[in-house]
């Protein structure tokens, strides 16, 4: 299970968001409770950036919000994933979607950097909080 989570994170960090979604979904199907919610939050964030990559902000924005709502329930880290750092990066995207730049400006809108998931500890199924 830990290898599958690491593979999903690796794919996310390579901006292979659909592959990340698929890898994490295989874990999500086997989980229950808080662990299922944590994985679903990551899946929704990956799906949001998959939609973004396909130039579909109407698909990206609600998925980002749903993923955010799930991940904000957890502490700084979970299963070694730096959730505090991920949420900081996602906040820039939430701001961008909620306050899009004016389209009448000559320069194209500058997008926030794509998020990157940092590992801050062991990625184990036994770590269940904070």
Question: 75-129 pLDDT, tens per residue?
Answer: 999 999 999 999 999 999 999 998 876 665 555 568 899 999 999 877 776 444 4
pTM for the structure as a whole: 0.88
Question: How is the chain split into domains, by residue range?
Answer: 2-98
- CATH homologous superfamily of 2-98 equals TTHA0068-like (1.10.3450.10)
Question: 23-36 pLDDT, tens per residue?
Answer: 999 999 999 999 99
Give the integer Cα–Cα distance in Å for 68 and 52. Answer: 16
Give the integer Cα–Cα distance in Å for 50 and 21. Answer: 9
């Amino acid at each position: 299970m830990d290898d599958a989570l690491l593979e999903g994170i690796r794919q996310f960090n390579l901006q292979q968001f659909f592959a990340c979604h698929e890898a994490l979904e295989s874990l999500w199907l086997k989980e229950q409770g808080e662990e299922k919610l944590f994985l679903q939050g990551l899946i929704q964030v990956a799906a949001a950036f998959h939609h973004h990559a396909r130039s579909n902000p109407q698909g990206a924005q609600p998925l980002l919000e749903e993923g955010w709502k799930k991940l904000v329930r957890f502490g700084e880290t979970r299963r070694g994933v730096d959730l505090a750092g991920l949420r900081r990066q996602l906040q820039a995207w939430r701001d961008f979607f909620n306050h899009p730049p004016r389209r009448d400006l000559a320069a194209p809108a500058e997008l926030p950097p794509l998020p990157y998931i940092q590992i801050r500890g062991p990625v184990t199924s036994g770590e269940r909080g904070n």
